[in-house]
């Protein structure tokens, strides 16, 4: 196994489609291509585990390994709740000086089992104030995040170009690899618009009429640094 992979190589491995490779070689939807795709997928995940272990997230990494990765990029735990019959954990980490925070949630099959990673969501407000649309496209190229629009609607119905976009990364694999090039663009001032946040754990009731924003803000407000993230009264 290769001892060290470049960031570009890691991204290329992540983007490999095992089924597509198998079908192009052995034909679409054949039994051989299915088995070959499964084998290639195992090799892909084993290679990624070796490439990412110790400095990034990967399928199968432990709860403690993820926490180490979050700390390595300046995120500090500021909220924790223990929930459910299996005593699972939901945490919020906030960056020491950037408008960036993450959630981390465990999942376990019973109270005595090892806690697996259920979700890792990394939020960051990326400054685009002085960037052209072309530069923005280049900045987010090959980045596996969802983000809000460059323009937003004012209360009077008019549209305004934003100074930032709020990005949300699914961090279960390659959190640092996919997001590191954005770190220098992350704001150090609070958000100015109410964002879409999902800070609910997997067992919280999603009853008719529930307000996910109110629940999320209530949790975020319990973090000592929340005013560095939220620039309005909650």
pLDDT in tens, 107-140: 988 777 788 899 999 999 999 999 988 898 888 8
- Tell me the CA end-to-end span of the chain in Å, nearest whole number: 51
Q: Into how many domains does the chain fold?
A: 2
> Both 80 and 106 in a single domain?
yes
pTM: 0.84
Residue 1 lies in a domain: no
Say whether pLDDT at 2 is over 60: no
Residue 28 lies in a domain: yes
> Both 154 and 218 in a single domain?
yes
Nearest Cα neighbor of 57 from 119, 8, 136, 131 is 119
The residue range of the domain holding 175 is: 63-229
Q: Which residues pair with 89 in a beta bridge?
A: 82
Nearest Cα neighbor of 223 from 105, 96, 125, 92 is 92
pLDDT recorded at residue 6: 77
Nearest Cα neighbor of 98 from 60, 65, 125 is 125
> Both 15 and 41 in a single domain?
yes
Tens-place pLDDT, residues 137-183? 888 887 778 888 787 777 777 778 889 999 999 999 889 988 988 99
How confident is the prediction for the chain on average, in pLDDT? 88
> Both 45 and 70 in a single domain?
no
> Both 106 and 87 in a single domain?
yes
Nearest Cα neighbor of 191 from 232, 160, 151 is 232
C-alpha 7/C-alpha 177 separation (Å) is 6
pLDDT recorded at residue 14: 80
Say whether pLDDT at 220 is over 70: yes
> Both 87 and 41 in a single domain?
no
Residue 2 lies in a domain: no
């Amino acid at each position: 196994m290769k001892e060290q992979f470049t960031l570009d190589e890691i991204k290329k491995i992540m983007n490999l489609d095992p089924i597509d490779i198998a079908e192009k070689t052995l034909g679409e939807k054949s039994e051989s291509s299915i088995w070959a795709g499964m084998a290639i997928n195992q090799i892909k995940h084993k290679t990624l585990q070796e490439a990412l272990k110790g400095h990034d997230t990967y399928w199968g990494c432990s709860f403690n390994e993820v926490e180490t990765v979050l700390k390595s990029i300046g995120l500090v735990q500021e909220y924790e709740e223990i929930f459910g019959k299996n005593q699972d954990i939901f945490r919020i980490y906030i960056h020491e000086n950037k408008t960036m925070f993450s959630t981390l949630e465990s999942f376990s099959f019973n109270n005595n089992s090892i806690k697996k990673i259920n979700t890792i969501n990394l939020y960051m407000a990326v400054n685009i104030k002085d960037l052209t649309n072309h530069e923005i496209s280049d900045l987010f190229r090959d980045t596996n995040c969802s983000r809000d629009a460059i323009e937003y609607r004012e209360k009077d119905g008019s549209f305004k170009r934003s100074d930032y976009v709020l990005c949300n990364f699914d961090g279960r694999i390659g959190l640092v690899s996919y997001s590191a090039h954005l770190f220098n663009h992350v704001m150090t001032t609070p958000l100015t618009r109410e964002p879409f946040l999902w800070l609910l754990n997997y067992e919280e009731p999603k009853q008719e009429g529930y307000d996910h924003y109110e629940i999320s803000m209530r949790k975020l407000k319990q973090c000592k640094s929340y005013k560095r993230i939220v620039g309005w009264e909650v």
